[in-house]
Structure 1
Amino acid sequence: MESTTAPATLTRRDDALALSGRLDARSVAALWHEALAAVTPATPLTIDLSGCTYCDVSGSALVLALEERAGARTTLRGAEPGVARVIDRAREAYARRPPPHPVAPPGLAVAIGEAVVGKVQDLGDRIAILGRTATSAVLTAVNPRSLRWPDTLHQAEEVGSRALPLICMIGFLFGLILAFQSAIPLRQFGADIFVANLVAVSVFRELGPLLSAVILAARSGSAFAAEIGTMKVNEEIDALTTMGLDPIRFLVMPRLIAAITMMPVLIIAMNLSAVAGMATVMMSLGFPWAAISIQVVTWTSPADVLGGLIKGLVFGAVVAGIGCSRGMSTGVGPRAVGEAATAAVVGGIVAIVVLDGIFAVLFYLMGW
């Protein structure tokens, strides 16, 4: 069989599809899609190989693919003995291939077992990240200079100051809504003035830290997961590990400290905005500011504000920890970052509600 360097060419004739030149791996790769597109499915096909000077396994694979696409009787014409022998051997090997084994869907027990194993592994990863975070927190407390303070201040700005407009708007609207909704039933008993008490106590003890934590989870928790998840997908975290840098201390600790320290600021802003919204409604109903302030100061105590701040510190730590852990455990693929951000928001809100219920029981038992 003569071997030349002439590249393979494809020519479509009325009665045949002509392949000429050297049918090797490089030429076949360039001609593959064009050759298959030139064949009409379920139509008799004649392949003219009179101009083919060389054929290897790749060339014979192209010929067999053309025969399979035609799906009807295929005729080879003009092939040299060496070329025809290679194609015949490939056809025999193709005919002797074992049939594909059907993949049976897993049974119910297998599916449940795989799901349980996956959840256990995921829980183990979360516990490992929690332990590494606790260790990094202790090391950071012992040696504060090891913390990246510029990055921490940047995260504090993102979590705190840039969230203040949203916090103030939502707090003002919630105070406005609560005042209007509670003024209607209380007016029936001539107790309009007690709207200030109701709104102040409910916001200081419950709604202030709860709404601030939900906004933190929706705004910053998802951002933490997306940022760290993008680094995980781009293998930047692996690069940090290769350079001997701890990703937990480098990425997680600045975000965790920023969330914890900014939560009291957000809660205080939420409380003041809600009181301002309530006062706006009360003043529109004819009550002076002096009467409103006396009701708020008389019926609330520093313990109410302190309890909300304590809950806020715990909420901030949990939301930041969940967001960072979801980012650190991000998988691969184009949907991984979005799934991590979604899981961070959902997990953060669920954790906030559960912890708020626990705090409610504890405060009740403590008489606080």
Structure 2
Amino acid sequence: MDPSPDEAAAQIEAQEEGGRRVLRASGRIDTEAAARLWPEAMKAAAGAPFAALELSGLKGIDSAGAVLLLTAAPDAEFRGATEQAAAVLERTRRALGTAPPVSAPTRWRPITAIGHATVERARTAVAGIAFMGEAVVTTLRVLTRPRLLRWSEVLRHLDEVGTRAFPLTLLLGFLIGVILAYQSSIPLRRFGAEVFVPNLVGISLLRELGPLLAGVVLAGRTGSAFAAELGTMTVNEEVDALKIMGVDATAMLVLPRLVAATLAMPVLALLMNVAGLAGMTLIMGTLGYPWASVQNQLQQWLSLQDLFGGLFKAACFGLVIAGIGCRAGLSAGRGPRAVGDAATAAVVGGIVAIVAMDGVFAVLFFRLGI
């Protein structure tokens, strides 16, 4: 038989008994009643702590009502509670006792933040230097023991880094040549010097833009792939398994990628140069300059020194991009975002590194008169 409304009406009342405070609860304290009685209960709990919970008039209680009573009187003893009500209260008390405390929001301290960032950058730099040292030591060991280098892996990575990147490199180089020819012809036309467009485009491509753009393609296409592949192996603990089995992970996983990228990058840069010159020649033809005129300007102003200097920079770019990609993959974390973060770090780090290196090479070549 359902209780009458008067019996089921939930009430709480703070009383004094023998110098001790007692919180009396009656009726059915469910979720709706707990929401209604919460302000009153918190107001009553603001004084001295309750010594006991008088529950003889309690008709029913759920977890929300138990949270209300235990929040108002957390250390009080139960009096007059039925077996079912006491079980609910005890179970809720244990759950509240094991719940983690809510941490207070930390204040932003700029000096502390700068210190943490500096320490993290220093640790990353030290780890990068250690990775470079390990790669150099492994390379020296492979020179004395060539069988440690897996040439099948080198050929596989040469196909991934070089052969499969040929279409993208040719397309990008052709478009860059077209854009450079059009944009450089606009200001030169004012002085009647459109004939010097091949000089400008050729020198820019061979010395700077060819290797740099090929490096950007390598960083975005291959550096991220290296980081994702090695990052997945790191997350799946395959790299740790290789180390436990006594296999040199650097010689097996890193060195073939470094060799492949270093060998493929000059080829990609050369293709970028050829495609760019082809695009420039096409635009010069539309402007009324025959191939013989373009060829004459290129032969007069370009030299093998320009070509070899660009190819040397391209080889250095390939080595650095592959190293950054492998380092990002091997240092990946263990979370669900680890592989994505590693790929992002490889692309960003590779592009920044080759741009910085290109600036260093520009200053160096200028000082050496190359």
TM-score range normalised by the length of the shorter chain? 0.7 to 0.9
Letter in 2 for 1:207: L
Mapped partners of 1:92, 1:187: distance in 2: 85
Other structure's SS at 1:332 match:
coil
Deviation, 1:273, is 0.1
Q: Is the 8 A contact 1:226 1:341 kept in 2?
A: yes
Q: Which amino acid aligns with 1:308?
A: G
Q: Distance in 2 between matches of 1:90 and 1:100?
A: 18
Give CA-to-partner distance per residue, 1:291-331, whole Å, 9 cap, x none. Answer: 21121122100000000011111111111111111111111
- Does residue 78 of structure 2 align to residue 79 of structure 1? no
User: Distance in 2 between the 1:93 and 1:160 partners?
Assistant: 60
Q: Which stretch of structure 1 is more off in the superposition, 356-365 or 282-291?
A: 282-291
Aligned position for 2:346: 344
Q: Partner residue of 2:67?
A: 68
Mapped partners of 2:311, 2:252: distance in 1: 27
Contact between 1:260 and 1:313, CA under 8 Å: does it hold in 2?
yes
Letter in 2 for 1:300: L
Separation in structure 1 between the aligned mates of residue 316 and residue 205 of structure 2, nearest angstrom:
17
The unaligned stretches of length 5 or more in structure 1 are 1-12, 17-37, 49-62
Distance 1:359 1:280 in 2: 31
Q: CA deviation at 1:152?
A: 1.4
Task: Indicate how the Cα distance of structure 1 residues 68 and 270 shifts in structure 2: closer, same or farther if over 3 A, else same.
Answer: same
1:115 counterpart letter in structure 2: A
Q: Does 1:42 align with 2:35?
A: yes
Distance in 2 (alpha carbons) for counterparts of 1:275 and 1:262:
20
The verdict on how the C-alpha distance between 1:165 and 1:69 changes in structure 2, with shifts beyond 3 A counting, is: farther
Tell me how many residue pairs correspond in the alignment: 319
Once residues 182 and 106 of structure 2 are traced to their aligned partners in structure 1, the CA distance between those partners, rounded to angstroms, is 62
- Greater Cα shift, 164-173 or 289-298: 289-298
Match of 2:263 in 1: 261
SS of 1:42's partner is helix
Q: 2:138 aligns with which of 136, 139, 153?
A: 136
Q: Shift of residue 264 of structure 1? A: 0.9
Of 100-109 and 337-346, more deviation after overlay is shown by 100-109
- Decide which of 189, 192, 198 is 1:196's aligned counterpart: 198
Secondary structure of 1:189's aligned partner = coil
Pairwise CA distance, 1:116: 2.2
Out of 310, 313, 325, which is 2:312 matched to?
A: 310
Residue correspondence of structure 1 range 43-58 to structure 2 within 5 A: 46-47=59-60
Among 121, 124, 129, which residue is 1:119 paired with? 121
Matches within 5 A, 1:223-242: 223-242=225-244
Deviation at 1:236, TM superposition (A): 1.0
Counterparts of residues 1-368 of structure 1 (less than 5 Å): 42=35, 46-47=59-60, 67-68=66-67, 78-79=82-83, 102=104, 104-105=106-107, 107-368=109-370
* Distance change in 2, residues 1:231/1:100 (3 Å): closer
Give the alignment's Cα RMSD to 1 decimal: 3.4
TM-score by length of 2: 0.76
CA contact (8 A) 1:47 1:75 kept: no
C-alpha change, 1:99 and 1:277, in structure 2 (3 Å) is closer
Comparing 339-348 with 113-122, which one deviates more in the overlay?
Answer: 113-122
1:99 Cα deviation (Å)? 8.5
Contact 1:213 1:316 in 2 (8 A): yes
Partners of 1:197 and 1:359 lie apart in 2 by 21
State the one-letter code of the partner of 2:83. Answer: A
Greater CA deviation, 141-150 or 223-232? Answer: 141-150
Q: 1:289 to 1:43 in 2, by over 3 A?
A: same
Q: CA deviation at 1:257?
A: 0.7
Question: Are residues 43 and 250 of structure 1, via their aligned partners in 2, closer, same or farther at CA, if it must alter by over 3 Å?
Answer: farther
Measure, in 1, the Cα distance between the counterparts of 2:133 and 2:318: 18
SS of the residue 2:247 aligns to:
coil
Q: Cα deviations across residues 279-302 of structure 1 (Å, max 9, x unaligned)?
A: 101112222212211211221000
1:230-277 CA deviation, whole Å, 9 max, x = no partner?
A: 111111111111111121111111111110000111011000000100
